[in-house]
Amino acid sequence: MGGTPCDQQFYEWLEELQIVDFALVELNLFLDTHPEDLNSIKQYNQLSQERTRLAKQFQEVYGPLMNFGHAYSKFPWEWSQAPWPWQV
């Protein structure tokens, strides 16, 4: 059973995704200048896996996070339902 984009879990899961995304961007920038930092690479890979898990969980309940082939849609087409993740 899907959730509604206005329930508390929607915002909690979206915030978790934003936190992980922020950390991934920062690690990506760090690794650009420290490409041999094994601990940072491990952390980046762990967070990438966590992000994949969180995105899958979110999308199964609330619909796609991104369009253009980055996520599946249930029936009916979910992009007509708002708010979209970038609107909150």
| pLDDT tens column, 33-43 | 999 999 999 99
When pLDDT is averaged across residues 44-48 and rounded to a whole number, the result is 95
For residue 62, the model assigns a pLDDT of 86
Q: For the whole model, what pTM was predicted? A: 0.75
For residue 57, the model assigns a pLDDT of 94
For the chain, the average pLDDT equals 83
Q: Where are the domains of the chain?
A: 8-87
Q: How confident is the model at residue 1 (pLDDT cuts 50, 70, 90)?
A: very low
Task: Report yes or no: 44 and 31 within 8 Å, Cβ to Cβ.
Answer: yes
Task: Report yes or no: 82 and 5 within 8 Å, Cβ to Cβ.
Answer: yes
When pLDDT is averaged across residues 13-32 and rounded to a whole number, the result is 94
Which of left, alpha, beta for 75 (phi over 0: left; psi -120 to 50: alpha)?
beta
Kindly state the DSSP code that residue 6 receives in the 8-state scheme: T
For residue 65, the model assigns a pLDDT of 84
